[in-house]
Chain A
């Protein structure tokens, strides 16, 4: 158990709909990251938040948005859903936004939310 929780575990919805995925980071972690894993793709970085503020953006579509709340949990909103949005969505958290010195600050991943768009 990584300490990162994601809800719901599974989500089935129709094209054109809007869904919200939720993530609670590990206790003490200030950074939250969202990733998408499609069928034949690796993990694609979507967006990062640090202590409530957007810190970095990856391949996130304009139909997608995210936020991090004062209690540090984060939500990923996906709207105008298309069939191609069906994927596993992972949230990860880490202690800091940027590693200091020469160490790698491990990202701890949640179990993911499997989104199916019909």
Chain B
């Protein structure tokens, strides 16, 4: 049973516009929500996190929003740049510290 769902396998966005990646989770017993980014032939790299007690966290062009009532997490990238083309994994940290990843969304930034 998937606890973390990224329903869009891929997303294409024009350079300079906003990219919005979405993620749904099924359990309320998570204390941290994470986004990782992965380029081909490399391991995932941590992008941004948000605590379960917050609803927004911003870091430069990246903002993560948490809607606990809807069990929904989103990552906004604005403005989108060519180097943002990658696979983005949503992940949650359980209270026993295990991290559960979604299947990823491939983001294509179009010139």
Residues of chain A having any CB pair with chain B under 8 Å: 2, 4, 35, 40-45, 48, 56, 58, 90, 92, 97-99, 102, 104, 106-112
Question: B45 contacts A109, CB within 8 Å?
Answer: yes
State which of B42, B51, B98, B102 has its C-beta within 8 Å of the C-beta of A42.
B102
Closest to A6 in B: B43
What is the minimal beta-carbon distance from A37 to any residue of chain B, in angstroms?
Answer: 9
Neighbouring A residues of B53 by C-beta, 8 Å: 102
Closest to B49 in A: A104
State which of B42, B97, B100, B103 has its C-beta within 8 Å of the C-beta of A98.
B97
Neighbouring B residues of A99 by C-beta, 8 Å: 32, 97
Q: Within the assembled complex, what's the spacing in Å between the Cα atoms of A30 and B86?
A: 29
Neighbouring A residues of B43 by C-beta, 8 Å: 2, 4, 90, 92, 109-112
Within 8 A of A (CB), among B63-94: 89, 91, 93
Q: Within the assembled complex, what's the spacing in Å between the Cα atoms of A11 and B98?
A: 28
Neighbouring A residues of B41 by C-beta, 8 Å: 111
Within 8 A of A (CB), among B19-45: 32, 34, 36, 41-45
B101 close to chain A: CB less than 8 A = yes
State which of A2, A42, A90, A111 has its C-beta within 8 Å of the C-beta of B103.
A42
B4 close to chain A: CB less than 8 A = yes
State which of A42, A45, A92 has its C-beta within 8 Å of the C-beta of B89.
A42
